[in-house]
């Protein structure tokens, strides 16, 4: 895989002895040469296929060419003057970049970037960085030099590049100089991207309730493959409305996660409480609430099929729970539903109308045929009407104001 290094060039005072040099420490005991530009030290380490250096019109571009045997003295002097006046141009850099390629042996691109003081300039930097990546490349980003707000922009740029260009962000590097100790340890901040991946997975899960959003992250965090497969099976079972089967797989998966949690990576440990909170529904008494929440979530995202199916199933689950019937026993579940309908038909109240409306909506969306009931057909043909009807029914179900709640008491 091609890999590139994107680094930033800052602006620091230059003394009569040149720019201040620092010896960076990568933590592996390898001695490093002193340098005023961390990008050089990192480039020697990574040996990228391509080096991209960003800086403003006032960055210390002249430092890049100090000691370069290929640059003429008058060109270097002219560049130093432009740096002092903060008027370095892109044409100057385009002319000088090949000299760095010749001396360093790696393709080098030098780019002038805005000062990123405004939102428009900050977004422009994201575009510039994204344009630099050709797609599916391995990208290292160095944020040591440059603006103090650059690390925030670089992290956002990394997410942008990772998502839109399908690139692998292999490192976000920062060389931190401590003037009190005269030490300069090097840090890789790319672990923060895993937190962003987790947050994206939570967003996806909150949208559709699919646990498979978490399994790639859990695999990368060191979770046993068998446990990941249980999560996948639970997700499949829930997707086909088999909440009982999903419960069994999910309970076993969570037990496995709890057992091995100490071995997981720090990012996974951090997010485990939030994951457990979202999966707390597996206790039998909460499956009704889970189905209601799934129905509401589907409705919010315009997934009317899943919304209606989950709404109807939540009602049947609630009936079974009221009668203390095992909701995973299909025969008893179906018998309970039929008994409930018989009682409601005898009463012929508003409760029966609500239940029958939900049942007819369920049959309509499940089979995709034209509704035979006039009121159901009217609801189905108007999206806003369907939204309002489902919202009203789900609110009633969630508040235990179920169609036939009073009749349920007769079934005890």
Domain boundaries, the chain: 3-189, 195-282, 300-410
| Structure confidence at residue 405 (pLDDT) | 55
**Long-range contacts of residues 31-38, Cβ cutoff 8 Å, at least 24 apart:** 36/12, 36/60, 36/63, 37/9, 37/63, 37/64, 37/145, 38/7, 38/142, 38/144, 38/145, 38/173, 38/175, 38/186
Q: Which residues touch 214 (CB under 8 Å, ≥6 apart)?
A: 201, 205, 231, 275
- Find tokens 């344009």 and name the residue: 131
pTM score, two decimals?
0.73
Rounded Cα distance between 73 and 29, Å, is 38
pLDDT, tens only, 123-180 = 999 999 999 898 789 999 999 987 777 778 888 888 889 988 889 999 999 999 888 8
The torsion region of residue 32 among left (phi > 0), alpha (psi -120 to 50) and beta comes to: beta
**Can you tell me the mean pLDDT for 313-337?**
85
| Structure confidence at residue 371 (pLDDT) | 55
Q: Which residues touch 157 (CB under 8 Å, ≥6 apart)?
A: 125, 126, 129, 130, 141
Task: Indicate the DSSP class of residue 348.
Answer: -
Lowest mean pLDDT among 70-79, 179-188, 315-324: 315-324
Q: Which residues touch 48 (CB under 8 Å, ≥6 apart)?
A: 3, 4, 5, 106, 140
Neighbours of 277 (CB within 10 A): 9
Residue 403: band (very low, low, confident or very high) from pLDDT cuts 50, 70, 90: low
Rounded Cα distance between 100 and 64, Å, is 8
Task: CATH number for 3-189: choose from 3.40.50.970, 3.40.50.10640, 2.30.330.10, 3.40.605.10.
Answer: 3.40.50.10640
In the predicted model, is pLDDT for residue 83 greater than 90?
A: yes
Share of the chain above pLDDT 70, in %: 93
Task: Indicate the DSSP class of residue 25.
Answer: B
**Can you tell me the mean pLDDT for 196-207?**
88
DSSP sequence for 93-132: HHHHHHHHHHHHSS-EEEEE-----SHHHHHHHHHHHHHH
Q: Which residues touch 59 (CB under 8 Å, ≥6 apart)?
A: 9, 10, 11, 83, 88, 146
| Structure confidence at residue 146 (pLDDT) | 77
**Can you tell me the mean pLDDT for 92-102?**
92
pLDDT, tens only, 253-269 = 999 998 888 889 999 99
Rounded Cα distance between 4 and 136, Å, is 11
| Structure confidence at residue 401 (pLDDT) | 59
| Structure confidence at residue 138 (pLDDT) | 94
Mean pLDDT of the chain: 86
Task: Give me the count of residues in the chain.
Answer: 412
325 is written with which tokens? 């019937």
For 114-141, give one letter per residue: b (16+ CB within 10 A) or e: eebeeeeebeebbebbeebbeeebbbbb
The residue ranking higher by pLDDT, 319 or 113, is: 113
62 is written with which tokens? 């002249």
- Partnered with residue 50 across adjacent β-strands are 4
CB contact at 8 A, 79 and 93: no
| Structure confidence at residue 400 (pLDDT) | 66
pLDDT, tens only, 345-390 = 776 667 777 888 898 899 888 877 665 567 888 888 889 999 999 9
Residue 168, phi then psi, degrees to nearest 5: -100, 120
In the predicted model, is pLDDT for residue 1 greater than 80?
A: no
Angle (CA) 148-153-154 rounded to 5° is 95
Rounded Cα distance between 194 and 221, Å, is 10
| Structure confidence at residue 410 (pLDDT) | 57
Residue 184: band (very low, low, confident or very high) from pLDDT cuts 50, 70, 90: very high
Residue 170, phi then psi, degrees to nearest 5: -85, -20
């Amino acid at each position: 895989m091609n890999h590139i290094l994107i680094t930033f060039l800052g602006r620091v005072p230059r003394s009569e002895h040149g720019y201040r040099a620092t010896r960076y420490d990568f933590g592996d005991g390898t001695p490093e040469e002193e340098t005023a530009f961390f990008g050089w030290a990192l480039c020697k380490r990574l040996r990228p296929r391509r080096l991209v250096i960003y800086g403003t019109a006032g960055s210390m571009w002249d430092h890049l060419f100090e000691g370069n045997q290929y640059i003429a003295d008058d060109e270097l002097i002219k560049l130093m003057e432009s740096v002092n006046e903060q008027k370095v141009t892109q044409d100057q850099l385009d002319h000088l970049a090949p000299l760095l390629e010749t001396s360093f042996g790696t393709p080098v691109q030098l780019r002038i970037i805005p000062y990123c003081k405004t939102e428009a300039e900050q977004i422009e930097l994201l575009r510039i960085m994204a344009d630099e990546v050709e797609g599916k490349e391995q990208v290292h980003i160095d944020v040591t030099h440059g603006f103090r707000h650059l690390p925030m922009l670089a992290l956002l740029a990394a997410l942008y590049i990772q998502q839109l260009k399908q690139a692998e962000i292999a490192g976000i590097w920062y060389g931190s100089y401590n003037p009190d100790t005269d030490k300069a340890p090097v840090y890789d901040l790319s672990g923060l991207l895993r937190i962003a991946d987790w947050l994206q997975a939570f967003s996806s899960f909150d949208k559709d309730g699919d646990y498979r959003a978490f399994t790639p992250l859990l695999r990368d965090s060191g979770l046993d493959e068998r446990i990941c497969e249980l999560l996948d099976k639970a997700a499949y079972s829930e997707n086909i409305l088999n909440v009982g089967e999903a419960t069994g797989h999910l309970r076993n998966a969570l037990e496995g996660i709890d057992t091995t949690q100490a071995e997981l990576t720090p990012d996974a440990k951090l997010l485990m409480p939030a994951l457990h909170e979202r999966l707390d529904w597996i206790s039998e008494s909460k499956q009704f609430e889970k189905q209601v929440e799934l129905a509401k979530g589907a409705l919010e995202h315009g997934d009317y099929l899943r919304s209606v199916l989950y709404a109807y199933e939540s009602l049947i689950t609630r009936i079974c729970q009221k009668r203390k019937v095992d909701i995973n026993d299909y025969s008893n579940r179906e018998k309970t539903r039929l008994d409930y309908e018989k009682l409601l038909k005898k009463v012929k109240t508003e409760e029966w109308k609500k239940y029958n409306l939900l049942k007819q909506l369920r049959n309509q969306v499940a089979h995709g045929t034209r509704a035979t009931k006039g009121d159901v057909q009217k609801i189905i043909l108007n999206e806003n009407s369907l939204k309002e009807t489902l919202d009203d029914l789900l609110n009633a179900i969630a508040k235990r104001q179920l169609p036939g709640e009073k009749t349920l008491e007769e079934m005890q």
